[in-house]
Every structure is written in structure tokens, then in C-alpha cells.
């Protein structure tokens, strides 16, 4: 495994408990790996991530923080 995937995998397993830090992480991911779009009057969140674990973490954080 190359260094970059190993680091990404390790980071995706680190717990982030403070709400402010979780919001910052979600914002950074959406800024650099995705975005918000308006489709048929509804907001669609799109993100292209390298690992399934990172995608699941993003989804969980969005649901828990923003409902």
C-alpha cells in the first residue's frame, strides 16, 4: 500500500468528538472533494472520496450534525 492511501485510511479511523471539529471536517471535505447542488428544487450533497470508510464517516457526520 502506498503512503497516501495508508495515511488516508488511518485518518479516516481517528475519532473526532468535538462538534466544531466535525463541522470543519465536513466543510473541508465538501469544499475540496464535492459540493452542494440544487436539483429539482432540492439540495443534493455530492462528494468523491477514495475510501468507503471516509464516505460513511461523512454521511454519518452530516446526519448527526445537521439532521
- Helix (H/G/I), strand (E/B), else coil: 18: coil
Q: Which residues pair with 35 in a beta bridge?
A: 46
Task: Calculate the dihedral angle through the C-alpha atoms of 49, 53, 2, 6, rounding to the nearest 10 degrees.
Answer: 130
- Helix (H/G/I), strand (E/B), else coil: 42: strand
When divided into structural domains, the chain yields a total of 1
Residues 26 and 5: their CA atoms lie apart, in Å, by 19
In this predicted structure, the answer to whether residue 3 has a pLDDT above a threshold of 80 is no
Does residue 12 form part of some domain? no
Does residue 8 form part of some domain? no
Q: What pLDDT, in 10s, does the model give residues 26-67?
A: 999 999 999 999 999 999 999 999 889 899 999 999 999 998
- Which structural domain range is residue 30 located in? 17-66
In this predicted structure, the answer to whether residue 1 has a pLDDT above a threshold of 60 is no
Does residue 11 form part of some domain? no
Residues 42 and 54: their CA atoms lie apart, in Å, by 24
Amino acid at each position: 500500500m502506498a503512503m497516501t492511501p495508508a495515511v488516508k485510511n488511518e485518518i479516516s479511523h481517528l475519532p473526532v468528538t468535538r462538534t466544531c471539529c466535525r463541522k470543519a471536517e465536513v466543510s473541508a471535505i465538501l469544499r475540496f472533494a464535492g459540493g452542494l447542488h440544487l436539483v429539482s428544487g432540492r439540495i443534493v450533497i455530492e462528494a468523491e472520496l477514495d475510501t468507503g470508510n471516509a464516505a460513511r464517516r461523512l454521511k454519518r457526520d452530516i446526519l448527526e450534525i445537521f439532521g
